[in-house]
A = this chain, B = another copy of it.
């Protein structure tokens, strides 16, 4: 069974100077994996002719499929199209479909039609054109020496439209793929080394076509099993057997049987139990609510949040007592309990997450250093509190707090 290999080439100086975080590649890799295609390399290069040509050559040497994003915009720094035309031979021609698309978009948006917009419809005649329903730059499908090269815009939703509507379906037609499966168990409460120790016999006994990976992630540990097999049924049989064995070995620290965001995990627990959630957030500033509402349909189990950043807001909206804040401080078990009680009432919620902490860089003290967090979770008659101490920067302290707090509620719900 031959594996089908892909490379991703991302073009744009913004990726090399750190101005943009590349989120496209992860999404594209997921799509390719779902189709049974193994991404073996991802390369980012600048808007530079030589660098682009070198990448095309190197990636074409070993990969069946080379997906390229970026550098197709209407401005002078975008050079991908002429470089591809040079590399694959031929000349630039006007594409009628792309022209119509540009004219439609310009008209819908009420923009003037500029010469540089018309140039968006000029394409290499060596390419099969992929129409862009979400923007002016068309995609291009090239073939050379038995390799497939596809060039798409770097704008995420334009690229996604082309991938889903054209690229993935056409790749599925062209290749007979092996089945490629990933399955992830999320655990919490034990470190990478200890877990590895517990399952070392299991790991040693895995067949050669299966792979186990350990991914520490914001205080959780994800264990990912990967398998290749000639067909879907065989892959699933292998996976089910190994995955259930792993799940049994680690049942006591299991969080979820899939790599789902914590919001999704909480959501399905809340839905099953018919409970509605509210949050009272100080140091996390609404990030827990934002993670919760990122889940489609969360309105079925989420009422809202009071982001009580200022002490005044803690008092006015959540009813935290001035005396509590004075005596124990905003970051204390007492305050977080009153925040939770207030949120349960004002948000008419069945259960609650309340957090208060010091995320840094400033605001720490010897008794309450930066990274100190109090978390309360539960319902009206069964509030649980816990103190954490994170030792990272502001951003990571916040993210760790969000996951820890949501995980505390998960434990409360599962008990």
A interface list, Cβ under 8 A from B: 13-23, 25-31, 33, 38-47, 51, 55, 58, 73-77, 109, 111-112, 114, 116-117, 134, 155-157, 160, 182, 184, 191-194, 196-197, 203, 211-216, 222, 224, 226, 259, 276, 279, 281, 283-290, 292-294, 296-299, 302-310, 312-313, 316-317, 346-348, 360-362, 391-396, 398
11 sampled A-B residue pairs with Cβ under 8 A: A16-B42, A111-B191, A111-B194, A157-B393, A287-B293, A296-B362, A299-B309, A299-B310, A302-B309, A305-B305, A312-B348
- Copy number in this complex? 2
A279 to B283, CA, bound (A): 16
What is the distance, in angstroms, from A78's C-beta to the closest C-beta of chain B?
A: 8
Tell whether, in the assembled complex, residue B346 and residue A316 are in contact, meaning their CB atoms are under 8 Å apart: yes
What 19 additional pairs, Cβ within 8 angstroms, besides A13-B211, A77-B214?
A18-B26, A18-B28, A18-B29, A18-B30, A18-B31, A18-B39, A19-B182, A21-B21, A41-B44, A116-B197, A284-B290, A284-B293, A285-B305, A286-B286, A286-B288, A286-B305, A286-B307, A299-B310, A302-B310
Given the known interface contacts A41-B51, A289-B285, the answer about A304 and B308 at a Cβ–Cβ threshold of 8 Å is yes
What is the distance, in angstroms, from A281's C-beta to the closest C-beta of chain B?
A: 7
What is the distance, in angstroms, from A344's C-beta to the closest C-beta of chain B?
A: 12
What is the distance, in angstroms, from A162's C-beta to the closest C-beta of chain B?
A: 14
Given the known interface contacts A13-B211, A30-B17, A111-B193, the answer about A42 and B43 at a Cβ–Cβ threshold of 8 Å is yes
What is the distance, in angstroms, from A28's C-beta to the closest C-beta of chain B?
A: 7
Q: Specify which chain B residues have a CB less than 8 angstroms from the CB of A392 in the assembled complex.
A: 157
Tell whether, in the assembled complex, residue A41 and residue B45 are in contact, meaning their CB atoms are under 8 Å apart: yes
Given the known interface contacts A51-B40, A75-B196, A297-B362, the answer about A215 and B30 at a Cβ–Cβ threshold of 8 Å is no
What is the distance, in angstroms, from A389's C-beta to the closest C-beta of chain B?
A: 12
Q: Specify which chain B residues have a CB less than 8 angstroms from the CB of A182 in the assembled complex.
A: 17, 19
Q: Specify which chain B residues have a CB less than 8 angstroms from the CB of A214 in the assembled complex.
A: 73, 75, 77
Tell whether, in the assembled complex, residue A310 and residue B304 are in contact, meaning their CB atoms are under 8 Å apart: yes
Given the known interface contacts A46-B40, A307-B306, the answer about A13 and B213 at a Cβ–Cβ threshold of 8 Å is yes
Which of B16, B294, B299 meets A395, CB within 8 Å?
Answer: B294
Given the known interface contacts A27-B18, A191-B111, A192-B75, the answer about A317 and B290 at a Cβ–Cβ threshold of 8 Å is no
A276 to B311, CA, bound (A): 13
Q: Specify which chain B residues have a CB less than 8 angstroms from the CB of A312 in the assembled complex.
A: 303, 348
